Chains A and B, each alone.
Chain A
């Protein structure tokens, strides 16, 4: 007998018991999940990132420059001190500064130039015309520096309709995704656990 599958099935049913109403079984399962997930996360982060990227370079390879990010990382823990917590912003500023610096060219290249280029289509089909009108009208909708009146108002209104089509298709796909998750769990319960299906 595979005890692992039985444990997984019992925990699965404990979570599904929430569909009836909130109950201690569900709550216990929910808290076990939270605990195990955090434990997993810390174990993986330390063993697969901090050990090879920080501890081995310093202690085995003698790369002393890595002491600096190590100390900066430790400074993050000053958040727990009332008096010294402002210093935890120093390592944070490194993450934010680097993030800001790399995002400018990336966004410009991948999401503005490439996307604009792909929108410059020949006006020889209804689909192409719709693409051009939709992109422009959605951009007008997100342009808040001028009141949405007159021509801008009309453009923004058209933009809303295209956004609704996008939200609708995303909703359709969301339904699909959620059902797929249920299919997966029922395949586990009916197949792996009970053996009704292969």
Chain B
């Protein structure tokens, strides 16, 4: 077999795995089984904390992600926002990554309208700030100095929702919907310095990096990935796309595990053959 033939074979094999992967994910989306979902303690902690907040408590909802991770970030943000609006909390949106600005503005308005919330009275979107370290620190001094105007360019002090909001001392929690390590920056600069409660809603990739802060009590809880969003949807009693995606998630995990096992079996069989 020539080198070219080998490459051809490789490409075909790879394509076969790709097609199987697409089927394994698509089929459960069309033919749903509705496997039972277990809610983890970390997600329950987030839910419990927000649920215990008195009405009209202020929370910052920071969209610290890019559009590349929208399928994970949007369901998480939607579920948490629904809970905040249902509890009549004051929600202040912002973004520490530029792409999060448009996503945040869109999400707040969409979910806000589901609960008849009014922009400027019940929630507000401050906008985007670059250089997250200084932005996080500046909010600890004066919020209206850091964000003199909202995302639409209107004077922030002209909105009734801003009444009595000066800095972190008036904020019950910061919910950071992040796909990178910005939640860690919130811990380093807002939690450590100002004692702000931090709730990370992160991509699954970032989940393991949050556990040290969770165990040390520097985080309130943790909602990670589409699975975290599905658990939260269950807790607020509004199953959505994340819950619907869990069958597909299960199927794909099993498929990847099978691939790992088959790959290793082939390797072990190859070694034995060589040994002989």
Determine whether the beta carbon of A173 is less than 8 Å from that of B70: no
Interface string of B232-266 (1 = CB under 8 A from A): 00000000010011001100110010000000000
Determine whether the beta carbon of A114 is less than 8 Å from that of B216: yes
Nearest CB of B to A55, in Å: 11
Enumerate chain B residues within 8 angstroms of A52, measured Cβ to Cβ: 127, 147-149, 153
B134 at the interface (CB under 8 A from A): yes
Interface string of A141-173 (1 = CB under 8 A from B): 000000000000000000000000010011001
Determine whether the beta carbon of B188 is less than 8 Å from that of A111: yes
Nearest CB of B to A83, in Å: 29
Q: Among B29, B188, B224, point to the contact of A197 (Cβ < 8 A).
A: B29
Asked whether A110 and B187 contact (CB < 8 A) given A52-B149, A173-B207, A174-B205, the answer is: yes
A118 at the interface (CB under 8 A from B): yes
Enumerate chain B residues within 8 angstroms of A71, measured Cβ to Cβ: none
A115 at the interface (CB under 8 A from B): yes
Enumerate chain B residues within 8 angstroms of A174, measured Cβ to Cβ: 204-205
The interface stretch among A23-31, A74-82, A85-93, A99-107 is A99-107
Determine whether the beta carbon of B245 is less than 8 Å from that of A184: yes
A126 at the interface (CB under 8 A from B): no
Number of A-B residue pairs at CB separation under 8 A = 153
What interface size band does chain B fall in? 35 or more
A51 at the interface (CB under 8 A from B): yes
Determine whether the beta carbon of A103 is less than 8 Å from that of B192: no
Which B200-242 residues have C-beta < 8 A from chain A?
203-205, 207-209, 212, 215-218, 224-227, 241
Taking CB as reference atom, which chain B residue is nearest A114? B216
Enumerate chain B residues within 8 angstroms of A57, measured Cβ to Cβ: 148
How far is A118 from B147 in the complex, measured between Cα atoms in Å?
35
A183 at the interface (CB under 8 A from B): yes
Determine whether the beta carbon of A190 is less than 8 Å from that of B98: no
Determine whether the beta carbon of B71 is less than 8 Å from that of A183: yes
Give the interface SS of chain B, mostly helix, strand, loop or mixed.
helix
Asked whether A106 and B215 contact (CB < 8 A) given A49-B129, A180-B245, the answer is: no
Q: Among A103, A109, A114, A180, point to the contact of B225 (Cβ < 8 A).
A: A180
A67 at the interface (CB under 8 A from B): no
Determine whether the beta carbon of A106 is less than 8 Å from that of B193: yes
Asked whether A181 and B71 contact (CB < 8 A) given A45-B128, A173-B207, the answer is: yes
How far is A57 from B145 in the complex, measured between Cα atoms in Å?
11
Enumerate chain B residues within 8 angstroms of A186, measured Cβ to Cβ: 22, 25-26, 29, 248
Determine whether the beta carbon of B249 is less than 8 Å from that of A176: yes
Determine whether the beta carbon of A95 is less than 8 Å from that of B192: no
Nearest CB of A to B229, in Å: 9
A32 at the interface (CB under 8 A from B): no
Determine whether the beta carbon of A118 is less than 8 Å from that of B215: yes
How far is A56 from B153 in the complex, measured between Cα atoms in Å?
10
Interface string of B70-109 (1 = CB under 8 A from A): 1110100000000000000000000000110110000000
| CB pairs A–B below 8 angstroms (15 shown) | A21-B11, A45-B128, A48-B101, A106-B189, A118-B212, A173-B204, A176-B253, A180-B249, A181-B69, A183-B71, A183-B226, A186-B26, A187-B29, A190-B29, A197-B29
